[in-house]
Amino acid sequence: MNMLEIKDLSVHFKSRAGTVHAVEGVNLWLEKGELLGVAGESGCGKTTTTLAIPGLLPQNAFIPRGQILFNGEDLVKKTEKEMEKVRWKQISVIFQGAMNALNPLQTVGKQMIEPILLHEPHVSKKEAEERVKELLEQVGIEKNRFTNYPHEFSGGMRQRVMIAMSLVCDPELVIADEPVTALDVMIQAQILELLKKLVKKYSLSMIMISHDLSVLCELCDKIAIMYAGRVVEYGYAREVFTHPKHPYTVKLLHSLPDIYGEKVFINGIPGYPPSLITPPAGCPFCERCTERIPECGSRVPELVDLGGGHYAACCRQTEGRAVV
Amino acid sequence: MNLEKKTMGEKVQEQRSADRGKTIEVNDLYVTYNVRKKRKKAKNQAGDEECVHAVNGVTMDIRTGEILAVVGESGCGKTTLGKAILNIIRSSSGTIKYHGQDLSKLSGSQIQSLRQKMQLIFQDPYESLDPRQSVYKALEEPLDIHRKDMSPEQKKERIYKYLEAVGLHPAETMAQRYPHHLSGGQRQRLSIAATMILEPDFVVADEPVSMLDVSIRAEILKLMLDLQKGTDLTYMFITHDLSLAWLIADRIAVFYLGKLVEIGQADDVVHRCMHPYSQALVSVIPKIREEADEDKGHVLRGETPSPMSIPSGCCFHTRCWLYQEKGCPEVCRQKEPALVTVGGDHQAACHFAGPEEKGGDLHG
């Protein structure tokens, strides 16, 4: 059984300009122990989709339809009180921007034991401290830095603290929102190595969000590409990278320079994503797509299995024609 | 599709054949920032004032018509170097020559008049534009300052010409817009127009695409290359992304802790790199289309030391994998390696500089 199943999820935002259809009919699923990468450009709904899982959407967001089944239970229907039990213990989040996600007025240790004391009342403070210290060592920070304040750590180390913190209540699923963005390449490589190690050690399931495809390609088992609030391609990471099926994925991969490949100038994707306040009637990528057929302008393609667990949402795919 | 078939390698060949001299010559340049100057307690044990050594004895040329990429991690001094060359930051010692003219010997007004020839493209188009200035105003301002000889009609003509040149059309409509009307890509086009409108021949581009989505990046880079075509325009392209540098630059300079550790043709620096730091940087670039190796290569441990206390000898020895492999030789701790030619147009600063031994126990 899938540990997590997102079914036809839509998330809309109320705004002065109108309703923003940030996420529209998203289907995603994750098996236990898998590492799913969610990629896409700014505004594609990747953060909104994943933050809907632990119920951490902003005030003006609402979910008009859809289900988020976590171990068979629908998280959308749960009340705030019930969600509190899910957070940290079952699902935890590594937030974007480690620089600012920690409280500057509290020692790192104090911030880290807080969720344990809150969610596991039977655990004593001493036990909690022990657990936190062990986790700090796991992420490569000395035990005695337990009493340090966030400003005494570098950016990379703060990110390590955030990662350790997400594991304090031994969750089943960890959501990492852009865990290496804004870090230097060498620190990025260190953090990715660390995540790889932890996923193995604690047999975690993880969803990792990134706008940088190259970050995901070496780490993730599966990958979902999002565009304008929809999942356009989903499948095994290696398969998606080597045999992309959706024109958007193809173009996105061509936007990345590859030093192991031929030195051909990268191609961008001319144009801009559609407005999410007045979404187009057809395929959201239709306007920027070079493979467009008349049908694309009128029909929103569904995510269809193309065999081997590789899914794509493209009018030409369902027609039975190869895109690439 | 606008698939540019001509490889960058061919472009390099073209430029080599037309060697057009040097636009910038930097000689033994140092830039230090004093910190907490007024407080006596800030003096360290040696009794010196504490200072940040941002650029440490850099000697290099930027050739006319080339794109030189300056690559390194944050705090390696790449932005400081760019600003020092443009005379926005005062250098502590060393000389910078622009077409053979020593910039430190020029008066303020001479620098001012040179500035229109040397321009900067800023990193973040969301912060570098004045939200209360229309597109037209943003482009008129540099002309008002530097081109007092131009009539309003001439200025208008020039502004429209550059709006079209950077792909902001129709120019008449775009000129009336304000930055908040523009997308990230359009904003960066506007920044580029504001830089280019004075027709500079040397431009420092400080991470011009790092704030943009990947699909927009290519267009902006293409625009920068298009503007260079058929001119003597020289770019110093500052970036943290080695693979991007490899793609667009003729030569790459790798910096670590304010020092130039390797410089050479883009292909040489990426595929035949000689310095262990560059080798580490290359080894962490993800392989997008190939099966990933289990062995990641050289992920350096720890973090870059503080530029306030730079390690003795070779500044990289504290994190160097080659130093460890060689059994911690004394020379690395004692003696600062000089930048030596390691082949053709390729220099590196390492006592043991050499190609990585393939097939050994390094790369598997």
- Residue-wise pLDDT tens digits, B206-223: 999 988 888 888 889 999
* pLDDT the model gives residue B1: 37
Rounded Cα–Cα distance for residues B47 and A16 (Å): 60
Residue B4: what pLDDT?
46
Task: With CB atoms and an 8 Å threshold, state whether A258 touches B243.
Answer: yes
Give backbone dihedrals phi and psi of B259, rounded to 5 degrees, phi first.
-115, 145
- Tell me whether residue B123 is in a domain: no
Cα-based torsion angle of the residue sequence B279, B305, B83, B129 in order, rounded to the nearest 10 degrees: 90
Contact B59, B26 (CB under 8 A): yes
Q: Which of A148-157, A236-245, B13-22, B322-331 has the lowest mean pLDDT?
A: B13-22
Distance from CA of A21 to the nearest CA of B (A): 19
- B281 interfacial to chain A (CB closer than 8 Å): yes
Indicate if the pLDDT at residue A208 is higher than 50. yes
Check A268 against B244: CB less than 8 A apart: no
Residue A262, number of CB atoms within 10 A of its CB: 7
Cβ contacts of B183 on chain A, cutoff 8 Å = 272
Chain B residues lying within 8 Å of A257, measured CB to CB? 243-244, 246-247
Say whether pLDDT at B88 is over 70: yes
Nearest CB partner across the interface for B286, out of A156, A218, A264: A218
- CATH 3.40.50.300 domain position(s) in chain A: 4-90+171-318
| B353 domain-assigned | no
CB atoms within 10 A of CB B46: 7
pLDDT value at residue A316: 84
Question: Is B363 an 8 Å CB contact of chain A?
Answer: no
- Amino acid B77 reads G
Same domain, yes or no: B14 and B147: no
Going from the C-alpha of A260 to that of each of A229, B202, B247, the distances in angstroms are 32, 31, 11
* CB-count exposure of residue A148 (10 Å: 0-12, 13-18, 19+): middle
Residues B104, B213 within the same domain: yes
- What's the pLDDT at B48? 55
Q: B3 touching A, CB under 8 A?
A: yes
Residues B246, A189: C-beta atoms closer than 8 Å: no
For residue A40, the chain B residue with the least C-alpha distance is B213
Closest Cα in chain B, distance from residue A23 (Å)? 19
Q: Which of B7, B73, B290 sits opposite A186 (nearest CB)?
A: B73
Q: Is A214 on the interface with B (CB under 8 A)?
A: yes
Q: What does the pLDDT average to over B170-176?
A: 92
Q: Give the residue numbers spanning the domain of B289.
A: 8-117+200-348
Query: Two tokens at B257?
Result: 């802790």
pLDDT band, residue B99 (cuts 50/70/90): very high
Residue B46 sits at the chain A interface (C-beta within 8 Å):
no
Q: Which fold has domain A4-90+171-318?
A: Rossmann fold (3.40.50)
Q: 3-class DSSP state for residue B266?
A: helix
Give backbone dihedrals phi and psi of B23, rounded to 5 degrees, phi first.
-85, -45
B209 touching A (Cβ < 8 Å): no
Say if B209 falls within a structural domain: yes
Confidence tier at A95 by pLDDT (50, 70, 90) = confident
Is B203:B236 a contact under the CB 8 Å cutoff?
yes
For residues B112 and B15, state if they share a domain.
Answer: yes
As for the ipTM of the complex, it is: 0.85
Could you say which of B213, B243, B301 has the minimum Cβ distance to residue A257? B243
Which pLDDT belongs to residue B62? 95
User: Which residues from chain B sit within 8 angstroms of residue A267, using beta carbons?
Assistant: 1-3, 218
Q: Chain A: residue nearest B284 by CA?
A: A189
Instruction: Look at residue B122 and tell me if it is in a domain.
Output: no
> Sheet harboring A18-30: ordered strands across?
A18-30, A4-15, A61-70, A73-74
Nearest chain B residue (CA) to A220: B292
Collapsing DSSP to helix, strand or coil, A11 comes out as strand
In a domain, B359, yes or no: no
| Token output for B62 | 């930027």
| Structure confidence at residue B364 (pLDDT) | 28
Quote the CA–CA distance of B361 and A129 in Å, as a whole number.
41
What is the band of A285 on the pLDDT scale with cuts at 50, 70, 90?
very high
| Residue B47 scores a pLDDT above 90 | no
In terms of domains, do B246 and B188 share one? no
Please give the average per-residue pLDDT across A11-32, as a whole number. Answer: 93
- For B:211-230, CB contacts with A below 8 A are 213-219, 221-222
Which of A311, A287, A284 is CA-nearest to residue A300? A284
| Claim: this prediction has a pTM higher than 0.80 | yes
Asked whether the predicted pLDDT for residue B113 surpasses 90, the reply is no
A196 reaches B (C-beta below 8 A) = no
Domain assignment present for B32 = yes
> With pLDDT > 90 as the criterion, what percentage of chain B qualifies?
62
Q: Is the pLDDT of residue A66 over 70?
A: yes
Q: B285 and chain A: CB distance < 8 Å anywhere? A: yes
What pLDDT does residue B74 have?
85
Q: Is A142 on the interface with B (CB under 8 A)?
A: no
What is the per-residue pLDDT across A149-183, written as a single tens digit (0 to 9) for each?
999 998 889 999 999 999 999 999 999 999 988 78
Q: What is the mean pLDDT of chain B?
A: 86
How many A-B residue pairs are in contact by the CB < 8 A criterion? 123
Question: Are B81 and B225 contained in the same domain?
Answer: yes
The DSSP-derived string for A52-104 is HTTT---TTEEEEEEEEEETTEESTT--HHHHHHHBTTTEEEE-S-HHHHS-T
CATH number of the domain enclosing B340: 3.40.50.300
Question: Distance from B351 to chain A by nearest Cα, in Å?
Answer: 23
Q: Which site among B169, B182, B189, B215 would you substitute to test the A interface, given the most A Cβ atoms closer than 10 Å to its Cβ?
A: B215
Residues B93, B222, single domain; the answer is: yes
The pLDDT confidence band at residue B17, using thresholds 50, 70 and 90, is very low
Domain count across chain B: 2
Residue B15 within any structural domain of the chain: yes
Q: Is the pLDDT of residue B357 over 70?
A: no
| The residue to which tokens 């307690």 are assigned | B41
Q: Which chain A residues are closer than 8 Å to B213 by Cβ?
A: 41-42, 211
Task: Using the predicted structure, report yes or no on whether residue A15 has a pLDDT greater than 70.
Answer: yes
Q: How confident is the model at residue B225 (pLDDT cuts 50, 70, 90)?
A: very high
Q: Dump pLDDT digits (tens) for A289-298.
A: 988 888 898 9
- The sheet carrying B101-102 orders its strands as B51-63, B22-34, B93-98, B101-102
Q: Name the residue with higher pLDDT: B50 or A83.
A: A83
